[in-house]
């Protein structure tokens, strides 16, 4: 018997969603404070996460629970590859590696796919629907903060294969509600979605040190320039 999974996921992950948004890295990002070095490390982490997710989801298209939400139009790997080529250059594959947090995330995806594939729905919902919902807002913030071109390093946020995002999300929610699962399985999927938010938070927290250092350099440079300007004014007087 199918259950109303879509609303359970939405309501059951609200607290975790808020906690993830309140991490230092995300808070700074939403305020337009984006350091390119930290950001490209995030893009690299996401590349490893989405590569693992899409590998496992792609192999489970015939699975009765995973298959109905396995839409190729959501896939982000090729978009992330384009972004990494922009940030790191043609030899990006030799330059990027997952942070410890991203590696744990990747390991969890492979573990779930092997032991309880239905739980991948929680990860799928957390990442893809989140990206689809806030993609344009985050793209605009990153574009302005890092002074980027319209598409440069921002392909991750562009879902070219989904012309109507609102209609797609409505259809996706219907698919969630029609999955052949019982309430006990729904509870486990919601629990796994919350764990997915936790894994994302760990990645964000790893980047906070880099962001703080970058902000410190900018602030130090600003104060140094002011000090020099003050000294010059004093001499001129």
229 band by pLDDT with thresholds 50, 70 and 90: low
CA angle 70, 82, 68 (to 5 degrees): 5
Predicted pLDDT of residue 21? 87
Helix (H, G, I), strand (E, B) or coil at 149: coil
Query: Is residue 213 over pLDDT 90?
Result: no
211 band by pLDDT with thresholds 50, 70 and 90: low
Which of 147, 130, 136 lies closest to 49 in space, CA to CA?
130
Locate the DSSP E strands across the chain. none
- Lowest-confidence pick of 64-73, 111-120, 142-151: 142-151
Q: Mean pLDDT, to the nearest integer, of 19-37? A: 87
Distances (CA, A) of 131 to 18, 43, 85, 93, 152: 15, 13, 21, 24, 18
Query: Is residue 210 over pLDDT 80?
Result: no
Predicted pLDDT of residue 226? 52
How far from chain centre, in Å, is Cα 18? Answer: 15
Which of 168, 6, 161 lies closest to 73 in space, CA to CA?
161
C-alpha count within 13 angstroms, C-beta hemisphere, residue 30: 9
Predicted pLDDT of residue 28? 87
Q: 71-129: per-residue pLDDT in tens?
A: 999 999 999 999 999 999 999 999 999 999 999 999 999 999 999 999 999 999 999 99
137 band by pLDDT with thresholds 50, 70 and 90: confident
- The residue whose two tokens read 């970058």 is 214
How far from chain centre, in Å, is Cα 34? Answer: 15
pLDDT greater at residue 215 or residue 233: 233
Percent pLDDT > 90 in the chain is 72
* Distance between CA atoms of residues 23 and 29, nearest Å: 10
Predicted pLDDT of residue 237? 53
Query: Is residue 231 over pLDDT 60?
Result: no
* Distance between CA atoms of residues 77 and 156, nearest Å: 8
Which superfamily is assigned to 5-210 in CATH?
Heme oxygenase-like (1.20.910.10)
Q: Mean pLDDT, to the nearest integer, of 146-174? A: 94
Domain regions of the chain by residue span: 5-210
Query: Is residue 224 over pLDDT 70?
Result: no
* Distance between CA atoms of residues 196 and 192, nearest Å: 6
- Cβ–Cβ < 8 Å for 9, 192: no
DSSP assignments along 182-202, one per residue: -HHHHHHHHHHHHHHHHHHHH
- The residue whose two tokens read 């609200």 is 14
* Distance between CA atoms of residues 139 and 152, nearest Å: 10
Structure-block tokens of residue 192: 């796994």
- The residue whose two tokens read 């490209």 is 40
């Amino acid at each position: 018997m199918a259950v109303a999974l879509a609303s359970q996921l939405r309501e059951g992950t609200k607290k975790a969603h808020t906690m993830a948004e309140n991490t230092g890295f995300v808070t700074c990002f939403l305020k337009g404070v984006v350091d390119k070095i930290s950001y490209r490390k995030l893009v690299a982490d996401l590349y490893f996460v989405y590569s693992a997710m899409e590998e496992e989801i792609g192999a489970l298209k015939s699975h009765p629970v995973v298959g109905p939400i396995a839409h190729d139009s959501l896939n982000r790997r090729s978009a992330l590859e384009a972004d990494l080529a922009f940030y790191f250059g043609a030899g990006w594959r030799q330059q990027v590696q997952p942070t410890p947090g991203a590696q744990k995330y990747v390991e969890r995806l492979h573990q779930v796919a092997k032991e309880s594939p239905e739980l991948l729905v929680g990860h799928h919902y957390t990442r893809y629907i989140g990206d689809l919902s806030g993609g344009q807002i985050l793209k605009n913030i990153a574009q302005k903060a890092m002074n980027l071109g319209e598409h440069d390093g921002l392909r991750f946020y562009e879902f070219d294969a989904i012309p109507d995002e609102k209609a797609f999300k409505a259809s996706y929610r219907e698919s969630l509600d029609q999955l052949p699962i019982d309430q006990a399985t729904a509870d486990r999927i919601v629990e796994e979605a919350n764990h997915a938010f936790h894994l994302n938070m760990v990645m964000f927290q790893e980047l906070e040190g880099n962001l703080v250092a970058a902000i410190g350099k900018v602030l130090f440079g600003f104060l140094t320039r002011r000090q020099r300007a003050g000294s010059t004014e004093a001499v001129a007087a």
